Amino acid sequence: MDVVKTAWGGRLVDADVCRCLDHKLRALAKALQSWRASCVGNIRLQLATARAVVYELAQESRPLSSEEIQLRRELKANTLGLASLERSMARQRARSRHLREGDACTRYFHLQACHRRRKNHLFVLSHNGQTFSEEEAKANIVFDYYNALLGTPFTRQHRIDLSQSWTSHGCTSTSRQPHSRRTRWLG
């Protein structure tokens, strides 16, 4: 608790609230990391040591004294606690690595998108017997082609006269009333 108080107590002069909070949280994270390193220490080493002592006590062929039995019980409890702490830390490391690297689906999607981008890329473009590889020249050729294609007037050879189709089906200007409910369902 003292570690949190001392880390949180620092103040920034001429800083807005967000910067002050950011500074305090960063200082708190550093202080807690150093506290963990000094108080908890290397968990794997502690776990291995406790397991070795428990194993040695279990291998004894003579009956254990009451102090040795108590030590064995405490070491077993410590072993369980350290193993739980080690699992929690491994889970937190995996989660932070997962967040840092992204999940597999996102990574797969980006690989596919990059592959599609490479596949759709025109490395060389031939036009009028010449080969172009510069991006600007390729862009100008494609622009000119589609501009000429879309910019030319088109003359239609056939035409549909909708006024003819209305009268040929018996629809005159007087019969263009909305359909009744009966004709909609039956019709």
Q: What is the pLDDT of residues 1-30, one digit of tens each?
A: 788 888 888 777 776 677 778 888 888 888
Query: Is 49 domain-assigned?
Result: yes
Q: Are residues 24 and 62 in the same domain?
A: no
Residue 133 makes CB contacts below 8 A (sequence gap 6+) with: 123, 124, 125
| For the chain, percent of residues with pLDDT exceeding 90 | 2
pTM passes above 0.95: no
Domain that holds residue 22: 1-39
State which of 51-60, 162-171, 177-186 shows the largest mean pLDDT.
Answer: 51-60
Q: Are residues 15 and 56 in the same domain?
A: no
Q: What total of structural domains would you count in the chain? A: 3
Query: Is 172 domain-assigned?
Result: no
pLDDT for the residue 136: 92
How far is 108 from 175, CA to CA, in rounded Å? Answer: 61
Q: 3: closest CA among 40, 39, 28?
A: 28
Q: 122: closest CA among 111, 136, 137, 138?
A: 138
DSSP-assigned letter for residue 93: H
More confident residue, 180 or 92: 92
